[in-house]
A and B are shown apart, each in its own frame.
Chain A
Amino acid sequence: MKRILSFLGIMAVLLICIPVFSSAFDFSQVENRVVEFTLKNGLKFLVYPDDEAPVVYIRTLVKVGGVNDPKGAAGLAHMFEHMAFKGTEEIGTKNLKMELKWMAVEDSLYGLILAEKAKREKADSARMTELEAKMKDATDSAVSYVITNEWGEIYGREGGVELNAGTGYDQTLYIANYPANRLELWMAMESQRFSKPVLREFYKEKNVIAEERRMTRESSPQGKLQEELISAAFTAHPYGQSLIGPMSDIQNYYRPEAEKFFKTYYVPNNMVIGIAGDVDPAHVKMLAEKYFAKIPAGPKPKPVLTAEAPQNGERTVIVKDNAQPVYFSAFHIPDINHPDFPALEALADYLGSGRTSPLYKTLVRDQKIAIAAQAFAGFPGSYYPTLFGILSVPSKDHTNAESDAEILKIIEKVKSEPIPADELEKIKARAKANFVNQISNTGGWMGIASQLAYYETFRDGWRNLFKELDKINALTAEDIQRVAREYLDISKRTVAMLEPLEE
């Protein structure tokens, strides 16, 4: 079960699905605690004071993700996330001048290596060997000036916990939890990090990313399945691209390209910072001005304009591996800001949440053909037209085909009859309880600091966080039936299945 739950956990991180909905508890008292301010360079801060414990939770959300990866460098957004821990001009180096000198040598050598690679079969292997040897020397020299992991070390030593980051398709989120009296340290370090990063150990970090790819995709049957599914469902839009990048792209990452990527997307007017905890908003503003105001704004990056054409037929992908079966089917739906989205989220909630949902009752409880079955709206990202997914994990001695058959019946039913009134009430009750739990959580990946930053960036303003419950409360059973009929078109779905290798 742990593995399955972690698979679903991967989904959760990828989709930032927020079943947030408002209700009778006076949420305005929570809303009114938020203090917002924007620096001249466009960097917005959302501050939520909460003095339960002398700690502060900081969430930096950058509007860049897998969708923005350049062609030939898929996974660069994720690579950059790794680079953000390598330090700055003053953190992580014994001698910046020498380091930069050798890094420049590395870059020019690697440019030559790439040029030679581009000759494909005609590449001169002797020249390649020579360049690689020089490259190794340059890297060794550059690395000799590095203080490895000084960034993380300072952070840990000063009491920070949960220093981490996550890259999704739509966004990159940097999280940090600090004792409250270290806020200024965070300000100083974070402002340096996003104005003067040094992409040190770049060419070595590629090996680390390669290992991460091996761990999460190539050695993980479920990771492989995810990649195959999105690749089949999206033939044009970058939601179909591997988030971590294919191995060949990883091996070819080029630092100047990463620097260009950084300059394009990591501009203050493309970021929102959520801060929750034991802080005084006026003090936060003073520190923000002191450290972040001097970072110049940049041109606002363009959104992705590639649109996925309508899928005209059913697509099936089968991955055979030495593992137990997993079933995954997906339907195209609009993006999270579309008026139909709340009904789609409610539909997913109805179909698969809890032990009284049709997926659980039929597949898990009654027929025992699955040990887990879920539905979710907004996978793998949600800012662009996306997918509605249904996942099933067959139980021992049962098959993907069996899950598929039952799921199709459940879909037919939800299209042909509106859901009963008590089921609609359940959806609304669950939504309210989830919302209260989420906003009462100051920290965590999905606590209020993250939510505020997310809504500000992707949902047209942080105040919409507190309007979401109203949308759910306004839903009728007919709304849910309508979106089921409109979007769960079996003839246009994508199915991905993990099938065990024949013994």
Chain B
Amino acid sequence: MRIKIIFSILLGGLILLGASAWSAKSIDKIKFPALSEPQMPDIESVTLDNGIRIYLIEDHDFPLVKARVRLAAGGYLDPADKVGLADITGSVLRTGGTAKMTGDEIDEKLESLGATVETGIGATSGSAYMNILSDYTDVGLEILADVLRTPVFDQDKIELAKTEQKSAIARRNDDAWDICFREFQKKIYGAESPYARHTEYSTINAVTREDLLAFHKQFITPENVMIAVWGDFNKTEMLDKLKKYFGDWPKGSGLVPALPQVDYKYQSSLGFIDKKNINQSKIRIGHIGGLVTDPDYHATIVMNNILGASFGSRLFNNVRSKQGLAYSTGGVYRSNISYPGYFFSYCFTKSESTVDAIKSIIKEIRDMQTVPPTEAEMRMGKDSYLNSFVFNFEDKADILDRMMTYDYYGLPRDFIFKEKEMVEKVTAADVIAAAQKRLHPDALHIMVVGNGDEFGTPLSSLGTVETLDVSIPSGEGTEAVAITPESLQKGKEFMLKAVTASGGIENFKKIKSTQAKMTLTLITPQGEFSIKSESFYLLPDKSRDVMTTPMGEIISVTNGNKVWTKQGPAVTEGNDEQVQESKKDFFRNTVLTFQHLESPDYKFAYLGQDQLDGKPVELIQVTSADGVMKYKLALDAATFMPAAKMYFGQTMMGPGNLTEKYSDFKTVGGVKLPHMTKIESDGNPVANVEISNYTVNVAADETLFAKPQ
């Protein structure tokens, strides 16, 4: 009996709620016919022997054939000092020509048919696209196959791509919204993360044709390619054509590495970039997001519609319409498939209302956790998804893209249908629970780009402001240098003078190893810290450094392609990047460099005279034979002694332009070696290395360079 009463009270309650929320309208009386279920087109899906996955849909309405290729390769594979490598590869795949046709010939051919073939690589994946009238299908497929299989990466087109990249860098601060988005992403994922990092002039300069060829060889391979084709063709014939053009593409070295994980720690920040020429602030507020495999993912879909994804959402209603604070505002909690998305809410508002707008948005985020969705909001939040579900199937391109993505990440093909079923079941309690778990109004990153002079209420009223300097580093000195016979000859001449001044090449060649006891002084904003260190370099590729720090000994060992670090009981092995850094370190070693004066492994190109701390120096560009490793050597113009080295490398703050300045030369083993080295990063002092004891050719025990225990 009791249950019945409760039930009828509840029911009554529901009816009442309904009546008050909706005033009777003529449109409420309209009865909708049943909606036909979305029709999944007939998709032929096949995997070729070499691993390429194929998806086909026939469509004879119009004489068109379209293709979309998914490449697993992405910018996340770029080394830190060559951000932009994948992007450039993506462009020059198409523009740089193939074994059969130059880029210009491909352009002429396609344009004579009104056809397109385009390629591109983004941060997490790449793609190629073809659009052609069906009469010319074979021409299109052949070009598509050739650009993917046998690109030649013509140097001129690489230069063109680099010019585009650098021009984009030059323009990246023109638009306040671009700045805001970019800096916000760095706060969420980290400035070095492939999900947020961006190119610099120096990273673009560092990209070589060899890099593009290596990237293609390693990552654009059949096992990492998926091809979808739809349009005016017969499935069987199309499959035969694809086998013809792609079937004998030899497999590569395996699947591309997985996307990196994200290790996020919730914290607040208030970032500000002062831009004087605008009267409207761009604001972005948020934190990390989620994964589509999260159990409350479906609740977040509904939450998004209520909070900020649509016309009737709280952000739109309150921040835009009620308060007139913004033309543009919204926000969503984004969930990705294989790495977390981000939650963001944004707004553009006149300078004077910047702080008000931020407070208004934060209030909505808090309220999402405490103000339950009304029945009208739930209706809107769920129905807007459910009723528009059919639009997921309006476009064959979208359907195929989705299928390829699901297949690639191992999601079931009916994932989107299951998603719909789950959204149907979401309740208001689920939405509140998701909001409470997923939204963090006390750990928000706020990024503001605006004219600080016109804010009215200062931004500091919201917390400690971190003013960011987004000026674009000049990248000076990182341009690739054209190596000519003249510059090589002059370079050799100067190097000979340098070796002679330092003790003569014969003495250098006698050096098999060097040992040094030193004091390493680190210069940081918090002060200077000195640690004692001992190093043992067994040329050409082994080294051992033992640093005595207040936290105990840190031992670093390099042995050819292996790098280890031991701190306390923990021994970690270096990754590929650290091995590369170690190799570059050896390449730059002065003793090794001087020993290789006549070796084909080293090239010395004279760059000209320059000034270093007021004194004239002769600059030599030292490059490895394959062009991959390089640095600049500055020789004192009067004495020819090495005054400094300049190179792009890793610092504690990330990659940067480093300078080592030498002084206090003393004779060791018949040669003059500097006992004082001052290290600067982008012009700022970061460390000094003072050597108290320098020896050469001490007998080495091989166990010194074994993996530390």
Does B131 make an interface contact (CB < 8 A)? yes
* Residues on B with beta carbons closer than 8 Å to the beta carbon of A425: 112
Of A39-47, A101-109, A434-442, A489-497, the one with at least 4 CB within 8 A of chain B: A434-442
Interface 1/0 per residue, A395-410 and B, CB below 8 Å = 1110000000000000
Give A444's nearest chain B residue, CB to CB: B395
* Residues on B with beta carbons closer than 8 Å to the beta carbon of A25: 62-63
Contact B164 A53 (CB under 8 A): no
* Residues on A with beta carbons closer than 8 Å to the beta carbon of B386: 159
Which one, A163, A354, A371, contacts B111 given CB within 8 A? A354
Q: Known: A54-B35, A219-B279. Is A436-B163 also a contact (CB below 8 A)?
A: no
Cα A367 to Cα B175 with chains together (Å): 27
Interface 1/0 per residue, A420-457 and B, CB below 8 Å = 00100110011111101101100100000000000000
Contact A218 B390 (CB under 8 A): no
Does A464 make an interface contact (CB < 8 A)? no
B-facing residues in A238-264 (Cβ within 8 Å): none
Of A124-132, A180-188, A227-235, the one with at least 4 CB within 8 A of chain B: A180-188
Interface 1/0 per residue, B388-400 and A, CB below 8 Å = 1111011000000
> Shortest beta-carbon distance, B431 to chain A, in Å?
16
Which one, B62, B174, B311, contacts A3 given CB within 8 A? B174
Cα A138 to Cα B320 with chains together (Å): 20
Give A152's nearest chain B residue, CB to CB: B311
Of A202-210, A307-315, A333-341, the one with at least 4 CB within 8 A of chain B: A202-210
Does B9 make an interface contact (CB < 8 A)? no
Which one, B23, B159, B311, B328, contacts A149 given CB within 8 A? B311
Does B349 make an interface contact (CB < 8 A)? yes
Cα A185 to Cα B28 with chains together (Å): 9
Contact A215 B280 (CB under 8 A): yes
Does B321 make an interface contact (CB < 8 A)? yes
Of B165-173, B218-226, B240-248, the one with at least 4 CB within 8 A of chain A: B165-173
* Residues on B with beta carbons closer than 8 Å to the beta carbon of A431: 114
Contact B25 A159 (CB under 8 A): no
Does A322 make an interface contact (CB < 8 A)? yes
Contact B390 A153 (CB under 8 A): no
Does A52 make an interface contact (CB < 8 A)? yes
> Shortest beta-carbon distance, A465 to chain B, in Å?
15
Q: Known: A25-B63, A355-B111, A356-B108. Is A1-B168 also a contact (CB below 8 A)?
A: yes
Does A385 make an interface contact (CB < 8 A)? no
Cα A439 to Cα B394 with chains together (Å): 15
Contact B380 A153 (CB under 8 A): yes
Cα A225 to Cα B30 with chains together (Å): 49
Does A221 make an interface contact (CB < 8 A)? yes
Contact A158 B174 (CB under 8 A): no
Cα A395 to Cα B161 with chains together (Å): 11
Q: Known: A149-B316, A208-B327. Is A215-B348 also a contact (CB below 8 A)?
A: yes
Contact A212 B327 (CB under 8 A): yes
> Shortest beta-carbon distance, B438 to chain A, in Å?
22
Cα A212 to Cα B316 with chains together (Å): 15
Give A369's nearest chain B residue, CB to CB: B163
* Residues on A with beta carbons closer than 8 Å to the beta carbon of B26: 90, 188
Give B383's nearest chain A residue, CB to CB: A157
* Residues on B with beta carbons closer than 8 Å to the beta carbon of A4: 171
Contact A208 B320 (CB under 8 A): yes
Does A416 make an interface contact (CB < 8 A)? no
> Shortest beta-carbon distance, A78 to chain B, in Å?
12
* Residues on A with beta carbons closer than 8 Å to the beta carbon of B277: 219, 221, 321-322
* Residues on B with beta carbons closer than 8 Å to the beta carbon of A218: 278-280
* Residues on A with beta carbons closer than 8 Å to the beta carbon of B132: 433
Residue tally, chain B, CB below 8 Å to A: 77
Does A171 make an interface contact (CB < 8 A)? no
Q: Known: A149-B316, A324-B170, A355-B111. Is A179-B388 also a contact (CB below 8 A)?
A: yes
* Residues on A with beta carbons closer than 8 Å to the beta carbon of B469: none
Does B664 make an interface contact (CB < 8 A)? no
Residue tally, chain A, CB below 8 Å to B: 85
Contact B324 A208 (CB under 8 A): yes
* Residues on A with beta carbons closer than 8 Å to the beta carbon of B39: 53-54
* Residues on B with beta carbons closer than 8 Å to the beta carbon of A394: 167
Cα A475 to Cα B393 with chains together (Å): 40
Cα A91 to Cα B24 with chains together (Å): 10
Contact A179 B25 (CB under 8 A): no
Interface 1/0 per residue, B567-585 and A, CB below 8 Å = 0000000000000000000
Which one, B280, B380, B389, contacts A156 given CB within 8 A? B380
Does A116 make an interface contact (CB < 8 A)? no
Give A361's nearest chain B residue, CB to CB: B104
Give A321's nearest chain B residue, CB to CB: B277
Give A221's nearest chain B residue, CB to CB: B174
Q: Known: A219-B278, A426-B112. Is A55-B317 also a contact (CB below 8 A)?
A: no
Cα A85 to Cα B280 with chains together (Å): 24
Does A168 make an interface contact (CB < 8 A)? no
A-facing residues in B90-107 (Cβ within 8 Å): 95, 104, 107
Give B322's nearest chain A residue, CB to CB: A148
Does B32 make an interface contact (CB < 8 A)? yes
* Residues on A with beta carbons closer than 8 Å to the beta carbon of B160: 364-365, 368
Interface centre among A4, A94, A368, A434 (most CB of B within 10 A): A368
Contact A161 B391 (CB under 8 A): yes
Which one, A3, A149, A355, A368, contacts B317 given CB within 8 A? A149
Contact B394 A437 (CB under 8 A): no
Contact B114 A429 (CB under 8 A): yes
Contact A354 B35 (CB under 8 A): no
Cα A149 to Cα B27 with chains together (Å): 16
* Residues on A with beta carbons closer than 8 Å to the beta carbon of B164: 1, 371, 395
* Residues on B with beta carbons closer than 8 Å to the beta carbon of A220: 175
Contact A215 B393 (CB under 8 A): no
Interface 1/0 per residue, A142-163 and B, CB below 8 Å = 0100001111111111111101
Contact B394 A185 (CB under 8 A): no
Q: Known: A52-B394, A159-B384, A161-B391. Is A219-B176 also a contact (CB below 8 A)?
A: yes
Interface 1/0 per residue, B464-477 and A, CB below 8 Å = 00000000000000
Task: Pull 24 A–B residue pairs with CB atoms less than 8 Å apart, ordered by A.
Answer: A1-B168, A54-B390, A90-B23, A143-B322, A150-B312, A156-B312, A157-B379, A180-B36, A181-B35, A201-B321, A207-B324, A208-B326, A208-B327, A211-B280, A211-B349, A212-B327, A214-B278, A215-B348, A219-B278, A322-B174, A354-B107, A354-B111, A397-B170, A431-B114
The 10 closest A-B pairs by CB, nearest first: A152-B311, A159-B387, A153-B312, A433-B114, A207-B324, A219-B278, A429-B114, A211-B327, A214-B280, A440-B62
Interface residues of B (CB under 8 A from A): 23, 25-27, 30, 32-39, 61-64, 95, 104, 107-108, 111-115, 131-133, 159-160, 163-164, 166-171, 174-176, 178, 275-280, 305, 310-312, 316-317, 320-322, 324, 326-328, 348-350, 379-380, 383-384, 386-391, 393-394
Interface residues of A (CB under 8 A from B): 1-4, 25, 52-55, 85, 90-91, 94, 143, 148-161, 163, 177, 179-182, 184-185, 188-189, 201, 204-205, 207-212, 214-215, 218-221, 278, 321-324, 353-356, 364-365, 368, 371, 393-397, 422, 425-426, 429-434, 436-437, 439-440, 443
